[in-house]
Amino acid sequence: MSSEITSTNPVVHAIISGSAPHPARLAAASGLLPLPQNDLLEVLVALSTDQDAEISKSALETLSEQTPDDLLIAAKADDSALSVLTYLATHRAAKREIHEAIVQNTKTPDQALATLASQTPDGQLLELLAINQQRLVRFPGIIEAILGNSARTSEAERRARETKREFFEKERGARQIAEELRARGKIAAAEFFETADLTTPEGEMSIDDAWIIAQHIEVSDEDIDDSWLPAERYAELVPESAEEIALNVQRVIESEKLEGEVSPDRVSLIRRIMFMNTRDRMKLATKGDREARSVLVRDSNKVVSSAVINNPRITDQEVENIAAMRTVSDEVLRLISMNRAWARSYTIIHNLARNPRTPIPTVLNILPRIRTKDLQGLSLNRNVSEATRRQAYRLVQARSGK
């Protein structure tokens, strides 16, 4: 028991450990020993639960005679015994100021605060407890105590539920999905969900949605080269509002409709993917299959759409199609033109040259590699820029010797 004693006073140790004679322990319980206030409170709290009924009764009576000011000082002190802080936290008759000090004292045992949270009728005190997210994460019993207390305010409940969802439910859900995927041999999908956030502006992604997303992940971490994305660009993966994501979803659906009918299942998949947060969409873009890539390459966030181009499973046929799309960002088209392997494909560079979304400097750099017949077509193409048409015309004239 001596290991639980805070005081270094040998008299205190003797009294609390039980080695002191009964008269001395009874005198201590009665407050008759000349002890410093900290030592006195530690002794009284310890003796209040003594097996000797006379001693415990006397200690409780002496505790009840302590002034609120002395108790408040103890509640605020960093050197108060943990047993004293626990007593003050669980002492229902303590004044509100004392309980506030106990909540704010970093030395107060977590279990004591959980007890306080479960029994206090003070909603404002519950709010004060709920603000300390670090402590709630360290000891989730406080969260359950707040949520189980009928005196909780809406603010205390909101904070407690947000912490529970953010640090426990969401993490547990992602971990369970990852474990199940690993058991099924879907390592790439498991790796994704081990680091996934699974939150959307509408709340947390449902388990059903997560499983559907998992079926579209095919690239493992060891195959990913993330050197294409410098650290400073992560700032572009900012949280989006529900309205911004809804517009992004509609944009992707409308762009696909330009290429043909979009089935209800396809719309459903688009919504599931696009309502993920930006960081998870970027990860999916680098790890996802062809179907996921075809959705995310149209994302309005350039980091997300650029990640598709850096997916190691993307095929030349996909790049040919992307190079012709008028609904992708100019950054994606620029990145395609900079890839040496793709730049050797005539179909790809021809599609880039004809795409009005391709940046003009990129097009002008490509035009010398375009065949004369195709340059003639470009010089007459009203869908491309005037600069492109003029340069295509000049090149045709130069090649014909005019």
When pLDDT is cut at 50, 70 and 90, the band that residue 354 belongs to is: very high
- Predicted local confidence at residue 113, as pLDDT: 96
Please write down the long-range contacts of 348-351, taking CB distance under 8 Å and 24 or more positions apart.
348/316, 348/319, 348/320, 348/323, 349/323, 350/374, 351/320, 351/323, 351/324
At residue 397's C-alpha, the angle toward residues 392 and 402, to 5°, is 165
**Length of the chain in residues, anyone?**
402
- Rounded to 10 degrees, the C-alpha dihedral 161/164/167/169 comes to -110
What whole-number distance in Å separates Cα of residue 99 and Cα of residue 105? Answer: 10
At residue 302's C-alpha, the angle toward residues 296 and 303, to 5°, is 85
What three-state secondary structure class fits 374? helix
CA 275 from centroid of its chain's CA atoms: 15
Tell me the mean pLDDT in the region 278-288.
93
Quote the radius of gyration of the chain (alpha carbons, Å).
34
In single-letter form, the type of residue at position 97 comes to: E
**Can you name the residues that pair with 200 across neighbouring β-strands?**
203
When pLDDT is cut at 50, 70 and 90, the band that residue 203 belongs to is: low
Quote the tokens at residue 356.
């009005």
H or E stretch covering 333: helix 330-338
H or E stretch covering 172: helix 170-183
- Whether the CB-CB separation of 247 and 318 falls below 8 Å is answered with no
- Predicted local confidence at residue 201, as pLDDT: 66
Tell me the mean pLDDT in the region 311-329.
95
Q: Over 70: is that where the pLDDT of 171 sits?
A: no
Residue with tokens 């075809």: 294
Q: Over 90: is that where the pLDDT of 307 sits?
A: yes
Quote the tokens at residue 207.
């388990």
Q: What percent of the chain has pLDDT over 70?
A: 96
Average pLDDT over the chain, rounded to an integer: 91
pTM: 0.59
What three-state secondary structure class fits 199? strand
Q: Over 60: is that where the pLDDT of 369 sits?
A: yes
- Predicted local confidence at residue 177, as pLDDT: 82
What three-state secondary structure class fits 288? strand
What whole-number distance in Å separates Cα of residue 396 and Cα of residue 97? Answer: 87
What whole-number distance in Å separates Cα of residue 103 and Cα of residue 125? Answer: 8
pLDDT tens, 69-86?
Answer: 999 999 999 999 999 999
When pLDDT is cut at 50, 70 and 90, the band that residue 61 belongs to is: very high
What three-state secondary structure class fits 400? coil
When pLDDT is cut at 50, 70 and 90, the band that residue 1 belongs to is: very low
99 Cβ contact partners less than 8 Å away, ≥ 6 residues apart: 75, 88, 89, 116, 120, 122, 125
